[in-house]
Structure 1
Amino acid sequence: MRIFTGKKWRSGFLDYHRNKNEYRIQVLAWKNLEKLENVYHTRAKSLRLLINYFPVVGFHGLFTKTWSRLREERRNEKYISCGFGKIIESADGKIFPEGELVGFVAPLHPALVERIVLPEELIFPVEGGFASDEKIDKSDIPEISADTILHSFFDKKEHRDAWWKDIRGWSIYSGMKISKETRKKLVDGLKKEIKNSEWLKFQKIDARNASRVAETKGQVKKTSSNAKRGILFGYGNYAKINIIPYSKPFVDIQTVHEIDPTQIFLEKRIQRWDSDPFPRKDEKYDVYFVASYNHTHIPITLHALRQGAYVVVEKPVVMDYDELNELEKALRKSGRRLFTGFHKRYGSFNEMAIEDLGVKYGDPISYHSIVYELIQPEFFWYNWPVSRSTFFANGCHQIDHFLHLNNFSKPKDFGIKLLQDGAVEVWIELENGASFTTTFSEKGSLRVGPRDHVELKVYGRNVKITDAINYQSEDNHRIIRKKRIFKTDSYRDMYQKIGRRISNNEEGDSIESILISAKIMLDLEEKLQEMKGWGDKYKRAKEKFWSYFK
């Protein structure tokens, strides 16, 4: 498929995945309505920024992070657009049959794509007259050759009433419902946009020699005899700089599933690419790495466990109690085949802390932290209702670390408070006598990304860990030890240790550790949800998301 990105009409991209409830449209005309900012975490190119990050991540970390972010520039260029085209693949319901001319609104896409996949909520029929309020008058649409696409680039100077504002950043993965009222606004706005646009004056993009629809490309040809065969879901920055390079000596990641075609342009390290968010029925691998949207973790994880494969899944492992119950059943049957991506479990400071605090593993270690996470961009997927709260997505790191240091002693009591500035305070008490407190906030400095200050305490001794970089232990008389590492070291250590264990056919995380860590986070999230007055927002979002895929 061809996409207009980086100011050029480029070929070689995968097509968007189409599920059974969506339609694939051959684009005939496309008009950019608004360039979307605040969709992803982006930073201005700055020498000062590089200088700030160098002592935090080191030369290698700085190079890989910078190179990864530069490769995401095409992904970051997103628009809301509208246009018209022909249905070339129909949904199972066939409300719009193949060959039908339709109008559409594209809420989160590049400047122009050759083919687009949309649900029926964003597609509108084109017929003569106005027999229906949702029909676009065919007389407003010019005759266009099938080998040409009319394209109007985004014009900041053109005054518009932003009739599309209610679907900024919308995605079928978001769990957000497009109401009848919103659809009415969209069709009214689209009719006016099509009627008032001078389509034949738009730029003519060459659409000849179109490639066949392809949601996959490449095939697995080479298999390393010494490494397990791996598959990755989600090709974001984290996967590029951590999962793939650090797992490489132990797992040969042969296939990557990534839903955004602009993410995989000119990538040569992977043999096979797929835009499907979930495993294909015939796919079977030794190791599944799951770094996709949080609410897609559990179906991929269950698929892998039922195959008897290993799974390395990023946090959170589950999103609700039903998923936790499903996971427990699968783990009891498959055994310890799951590793959770909590990097703090693997940090080199852990062994130092146990030694310097003068305790045995499992003895009570109290844990107190102040955590600052980056505020999420307005249209970033963490803000989708199906993603739950940002505390649930990010606050789990310190809680899991506390549980890990206490050998996953069970929580006996806990509490959570939502402060007036949006910060969250949490306390937990464990059966072994350890206590935990944290303040989680999205207020603070962006200078070097997320920050955290942790103190580990027993009687007469204390350990301070700042930003997962600086370590200092002391007792009543002296500083016992100081140590400094790079922030990226714990990610390297995690994937290398996990990879080595998988390579040696060793067991994954204990089932109890997975369940205890996930359960306390769900308990806290449910209380926070009540405090925020969200009601059943997550439940409705989850149902809406799955309505497209089941």
Structure 2
Amino acid sequence: MRILGVNWLDGYLDETLQAGHVRIKVLRWRTLAPVPDLYFVRERDPRMVLNYVREVGLVTTVRKILSRSRENLRNEKFVSCGFGVVTEAGKGATHSPGDPVHFIAPAHPRCMERVVLPADLTSRSAGAGAAIEPASAIGHIDLDGSFRAPWFTALAGWSPYSGLPIPEEALRLAHEAIPGLLANPGRNRSLPMGNGVVHERLEAKTTSGDTRPSAVLFGLGNYAKTVVLPIVGSALRLECVHEIDPTQIGRGTGNEVAYDSSPFPRDDERYNAIFVAGFHHTHADIAIEAMRRGAAAVVEKPIVTTESQLDRIVEAVQTYQGRLFACFQRRYLAFNAMVRRDLGASDDAPISYHAIVFEVPLPAAHWYRWPNSRSRLVSNGCHWIDHFLFLNHYPAVERHHVYQARDGTLNVSLELANGAVFTMALTDRGANRVGLQDHVELRTASGTATITNASRYRAERGERVVRTSSGNRMDAYGQMYRTIARAVVDGSPGDSLASIESSSRTILRLERELAEQLRVARSQPR
């Protein structure tokens, strides 16, 4: 279909129609105002580029720059309204094909030839047929800077994936305003329509004789483009990429790889491995479906966001004898093999873990802030909690505590049955020189090891320095994906059920404790 960026261009995939949604052939579209702060958008700063080259190397930095530079259209989202005709209705939708409707598009490109929206964002438009533009063109009214409305802020950036309810009063006011907002034919410009054929999937243009195990990726974000695909593609045959946002996929991308806008595997898809790197709350369901189909599930953090998801993951591993690989790259740090020897610790001795973690402040409307994504503890803090449990071989957690300071800093503590202690301060206050930074101290009765930014290691025992070592902070990612890819090829087992359950349940217990604290705090008079 056609999407308006700088130009009105064809070749983009259609959004996939889902239950409760309708597909609308657009006849009029008014772009009202941009939606700010949805995504990370870096300024072009040579100093930051140099910092990244020093920290992660030239190749990774170039990949990051190329990835971000191709996201300009993805980054430009707007609140728009319009008028069109329903051409398809998903299961449970309140409209039928042929219905004329007004609609609100709360986080979409500047203009689209067709749009898929929850039926609740539409309203039947009785008697609007007389105002329909010729079927060969869309009447588009672009930004003019004059738009103001009391309902805009409540709807701007809303997503059906967020877990937030649609603000009903704002939606009512918006629907009342749409006819007036569209009633300015003098400002219309005509955007020609295409042939009207819907394409939710673009098949590969060539058939490969590659006999390596097949793989599919869900979620074509910056991390997937710069880390996952370059490494995995050397061992597995990537057959398809699923990405719900057509602007992230780009135009006419199909070559040796198919592209699909469905958020979930289609009924006829079969792969040896399914890589899951989309919205966090979608990870578990895709992983379960992967195991049901006999594929290895390779899942980015977090594996789950709720207790019920974890219960179903555990059941799937047991029922289907499924292979699940959790992508906690700190398990693959080269320094892990040095720690016990350097600190004079036996294999069953406790290793205490103390971390200070800085994460980049999130844009105000970023999807990590959605209720469905849970807190930063689930989204990012899970890395260090899992690493602590991994180093101690996943014993029972006997005590846990978390609290959030007034500046948003999370303070977390754990004590294990083997006596190991964990503390972490997780904050977004500090210098953003090279993105995420962390300092970890590992302690035994007679030794201390420090790991800074996953790249610099120093171990001391008694009165002497036992070892210093360094490496690229990206090395662990390469080791992780190469190890997982080999396991997929060899048919080796996935992660142990004990590791999956111990790590996830610990994080979810802390999340539940944090949520209760925040609920109580909100109920207190200010």
TM range (shorter): over 0.9
> Which residue matches 2:236?
251
* 1:214 counterpart (199, 206, 215): 199
After superposition, what is the alpha-carbon deviation per residue over 1:144-196, rounded to whole angstroms, capped at 9, x for unaligned?
A: 1111112222223x24235322111111111211143232122123233234x
User: For 1:309-320, what aligned pairs fall within 5 Å after superposition?
Assistant: 309-320=295-306
Contact 1:362 1:405 in 2 (8 A): no
> Which residue matches 2:4?
4
Distance 1:269 1:343, change over 3 A: farther
Are 2:174 and 1:186 aligned? yes
After superposition, what is the alpha-carbon deviation per residue over 1:396-434, rounded to whole angstroms, capped at 9, x for unaligned?
A: 000000011111122121111222222111111111221
Percent sequence identity is: 37
User: For 1:85-96, what aligned pairs fall within 5 Å after superposition?
Assistant: 85-93=84-92, 95-96=94-95
Distance 1:362 1:109, change over 3 A: farther
Contact 2:292 2:322 in 1 (8 A): no
User: For 1:296-307, what aligned pairs fall within 5 Å after superposition?
Assistant: 296-307=282-293
Letter in 2 for 1:164: F
Letter in 2 for 1:28: L
1:36 CA drift (Å): 1.5
> Which residue matches 1:541?
none
Letter in 2 for 1:86: V
> Which residue matches 1:34?
33
In structure 2, distance between residues paired with 1:174 and 1:290: 18
> Which residue matches 1:131?
none
Letter in 2 for 1:527: E
Distance 1:462 1:94, change over 3 A: closer
Q: Which moved more, 1:24-33 or 1:221-230?
A: 221-230
Q: Which moved more, 1:93-102 or 1:37-46?
A: 93-102
* 2:408 counterpart (417, 422, 440): 422
User: For 1:133-144, what aligned pairs fall within 5 Å after superposition?
Assistant: 138=128, 142-144=131-133
In structure 2, distance between residues paired with 1:16 and 1:83: 17
After superposition, what is the alpha-carbon deviation per residue over 1:443-469, rounded to whole angstroms, capped at 9, x for unaligned?
A: 122221111110001122111111112
Contact 1:361 1:407 in 2 (8 A): no
1:476 CA drift (Å): 2.7
* 2:470 counterpart (465, 481, 484): 484
Distance 1:62 1:24, change over 3 A: same
Contact 1:142 1:199 in 2 (8 A): no
Distance 1:360 1:210, change over 3 A: farther
Letter in 1 for 2:385: I
In structure 2, distance between residues paired with 1:304 and 1:343: 21
2:492 match: secondary structure: coil
Letter in 1 for 2:261: S
Contact 1:289 1:311 in 2 (8 A): yes
In structure 1, distance between residues paired with 2:91 and 2:322: 39
Distance 1:362 1:231, change over 3 A: farther
In structure 2, distance between residues paired with 1:33 and 1:162: 13
In structure 2, distance between residues paired with 1:264 and 1:184: 33
Contact 2:276 2:287 in 1 (8 A): yes
User: For 1:212-291, what aligned pairs fall within 5 Å after superposition?
Assistant: 212-219=197-204, 222=207, 225-266=210-251, 267-268=253-254, 270-291=256-277
User: For 1:142-181, what aligned pairs fall within 5 Å after superposition?
Assistant: 142-156=131-145, 158-181=146-169
1:483 CA drift (Å): 2.0
Distance 1:518 1:94, change over 3 A: closer
In structure 2, distance between residues paired with 1:123 and 1:214: 22
* 1:331 counterpart (307, 313, 317): 317
Letter in 2 for 1:460: S
In structure 1, distance between residues paired with 2:197 and 2:364: 36
Gaps of 5+ in 1: 129-137, 537-550
> Which residue matches 2:62?
63
In structure 1, distance between residues paired with 2:337 and 2:18: 48
In structure 2, distance between residues paired with 1:99 and 1:249: 48
In structure 2, distance between residues paired with 1:235 and 1:19: 20
Contact 1:151 1:204 in 2 (8 A): yes
In structure 2, distance between residues paired with 1:34 and 1:18: 25
2:311 match: secondary structure: helix
In structure 1, distance between residues paired with 2:195 and 2:187: 23
1:269 CA drift (Å): 5.9
In structure 1, distance between residues paired with 2:457 and 2:57: 17
> Which residue matches 1:112?
111
Contact 1:151 1:205 in 2 (8 A): yes
Contact 1:460 1:476 in 2 (8 A): yes
Are 2:20 and 1:21 aligned? yes
Are 2:456 and 1:465 aligned? no
In structure 1, distance between residues paired with 2:521 and 2:231: 41
Q: How many aligned positions are there?
A: 521
1:226 CA drift (Å): 4.5
Letter in 2 for 1:451: Q
Q: Which moved more, 1:160-169 or 1:72-81?
A: 160-169
Contact 1:85 1:103 in 2 (8 A): yes
1:481 CA drift (Å): 2.0
Contact 2:93 2:119 in 1 (8 A): no
In structure 2, distance between residues paired with 1:333 and 1:465: 39
1:242 match: secondary structure: helix
> Which residue matches 2:495?
509
Letter in 2 for 1:150: G
Letter in 2 for 1:97: S
* 2:372 counterpart (376, 381, 386): 386
> Which residue matches 1:545?
none
Contact 1:168 1:379 in 2 (8 A): no
Q: TM-score, normalised on structure 2?
A: 0.95
In structure 1, distance between residues paired with 2:96 and 2:322: 48
Contact 1:163 1:189 in 2 (8 A): no
User: For 1:68-107, what aligned pairs fall within 5 Å after superposition?
Assistant: 68-93=67-92, 95-107=94-106
Which 4+ stretches in 1 moved above 4 angstroms?
Answer: 223-226
1:239 CA drift (Å): 0.8
In structure 2, distance between residues paired with 1:462 and 1:224: 52
